[in-house]
């Protein structure tokens, strides 16, 4: 696998980690809305990840369980008929990786995917 493909795969996982945090039971709906407000949709390089993010923002401060119920229909209507939240997001409530999930989200808040110059997961 070349560098570009490797970066794209790592970037996609990085984006999904941020989305996992936004869908998790570990943060309140109000906190989710505040954290999502820190990220620009252009920070997502993967189209599916961007659409999921936009739908999370569009859902507003709803309970995490309700959000996970709403996402499949909303993402399907946006052109991704095979979207499965459990498969896409994986575990959404693991407390042991919350630091990693927060770091992913905060790194995305720094700017669009094509403007990131530091290595993924590395603090400045």
The pLDDT, as a whole number, for residue 85 is: 83
Domain that holds residue 29: 3-113
* Cβ within 8 Å of residue 92, ≥6 positions away: 20, 23, 24, 25, 64, 68
Q: Give 76 or 94, the one with higher predicted confidence.
A: 76
The number of domains in the chain is 1
Q: How does pLDDT run across 40-51, given as a tens digit for each residue?
A: 999 999 999 999
Q: How does pLDDT run across 10-53, given as a tens digit for each residue?
A: 888 889 999 999 998 889 999 999 999 999 999 999 999 999 99
Torsion of CA 54, 59, 60, 64, to 10 degrees: -110
| Assigned domain for 44 exists | yes
Q: What is the pTM of this model?
A: 0.81
The SS3 call for residue 65 is helix
| Assigned domain for 120 exists | no
- C-alpha closest to that of 75 among 99, 92, 59: 59
């Amino acid at each position: 696998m070349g560098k570009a493909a490797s970066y794209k795969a790592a970037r996609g996982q990085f984006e999904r980690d941020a989305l996992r945090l936004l869908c998790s039971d570990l943060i309140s709906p109000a906190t989710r809305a505040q954290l999502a407000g820190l990220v620009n949709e252009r920070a997502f390089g993967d189209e599916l990840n961007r659409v999921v993010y936009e739908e999370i923002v569009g859902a507003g401060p709803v309970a995490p369980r309700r959000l996970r119920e709403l996402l499949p229909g909303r993402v399907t209507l946006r052109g991704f008929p095979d979207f499965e939240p459990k498969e896409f997001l994986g575990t959404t409530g693991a407390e042991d990786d919350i630091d990693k999930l927060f770091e992913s989200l905060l790194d995305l808040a720094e700017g669009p995917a094509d403007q990131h110059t530091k290595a993924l997961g590395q603090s400045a």
